[in-house]
Structure 1
């Protein structure tokens, strides 16, 4: 089925047509087993194994045992492939909140689900964000997040803003933890030693008179213990949800 081209709406970009199964398939060629989904799945396998930088049309073609030009009959460009990879990489949304869950439990589950995806597939963080969600899987995630806020006092725009705030926090935390882990490995620092090593360096560098607040933190011993990333994530998420709850209470008055 081809995309609508009349006055009912804008012409959909080819990548969006492909994501929604609206793009006409190329005629049967010498490799009838190839399809958009097999190409995208192969690209995801490459990214999972070697990172996003390893993904190219030629590398994906090699993964499939096909000629590079054969891929362009199904996927028009690298940018189109990346958009489809993100949709597949995220996978199915976590599902709507359980009937017994309140909005907070539902959003906590939703945020942790995205957190897990981004930790498992950190290459997703390197794909440039070019706009709001528009593919089937990513819209499924948005739908499930919004359904967590059904029945609350928030306006529809506030619900969208709350989800943007939460997913931004999730992506930021995942980016930081991934970069720290990568730099630790590059420096030969074992897991659990990053913060203690940092504390030892600070003791040699900071002047209590110039950095009194930082010195108090250092003296407390907090920095001598490596962070529990899950605890750090929970702390930040809880503070964001506290703010959303405070807004709900104001709207309910």
Structure 2
């Protein structure tokens, strides 16, 4: 079987997306009719949750389900397609999520926290190839939720998408580093040294006055999630500043604005 999905023709959805959007009939041939895409994806996610993305292979999933590897290809054309299906399944329930914050900023902060919680639950997502933006149904539902959170902000639609992309990229990066730190802790039997701890050992006040000040500043350097939220607030400060700037510009032009 090919290692990569074939290139779709113009106007066709790529393999994986065509299944998720109902553009391709799901395989039901042969005596393994009790096998389904849903069972395959669930087994693959169980493997990834337990042992990481590297543990996921068509042969490994087939073994876990008690089928031959060939039987899986009647339902999923490649591992690349399986990864897309897993990504979509990881966000199951996105269509029913409701943000409870009052105002666009609390709602968008909540949106980022939901994403972080999902990544902490399924850290293998941070290892997925991301050559294109997420286009699966659940992913788009989550993006739509983020755009809904931004209702009331004085931002162009393109800027709203950029804000969501920036929050997602930051959340993905922070979740990956937190996961890698947990793996390092498990392997070494002790947590890796904190950034500030190492700084205290190598920087002096004369050569690195600013880094020295950071190294000896009060605070808890082990509060990773608190640091993550501080970064989210920093991004939201920028989004809010852009919204205010647009509102002031609109007021100078005498154009009607969007109330937040």
TM-score, normalised with respect to structure 1: 0.87
Alpha-carbon distance between aligned partners in 2 of 1:23 and 1:89, rounded to the nearest angstrom: 21
- Aligned equivalents of 2:146 and 2:36: distance in 1? 31
CA-to-aligned-CA distance 1:67-90 (integer Å, 9 cap, x gap): 000100110011000111111123
Correspondences of 1:47-62 after superposition (within 5 Å) = 47-62=48-63
Distance in 2 of aligned mates of 1:45 and 1:120:
12
Partner of 1:101: 102
Q: Displacement, 1:48?
A: 0.8
Tell me how far apart the structure 2 counterparts of residues 114 and 248 of structure 1 sit (CA, whole Å): 23
Distance 1:242 1:203 in 2: 30
1:1-253 correspondence runs (5 A): 10-93=11-94, 95-98=97-100, 101-190=102-191, 194-195=193-194, 199=197, 202-220=199-217, 222=219, 225-253=220-248
Q: TM-score, normalised by structure 2?
A: 0.84
2:56 and 2:231 map into 1 onto residues whose CA distance is 33
Decide whether aligned partners of structure 1 residues 30 and 214 sit closer, same or farther in structure 2, where only a CA change above 3 A counts.
same
Structure 1 stretches of at least 4 aligned residues deviating more than 6 Å after TM superposition? none
Unaligned stretches of 5+ in structure 2?
1-7, 249-260
The unaligned stretches of length 5 or more in structure 1 are: none
Cα RMSD (Å)? 2.2
Task: Rate the CA distance shift 1:137–1:217 in 2: closer, same or farther, 3 A.
Answer: same
Distance 1:252 1:142 in 2: 24
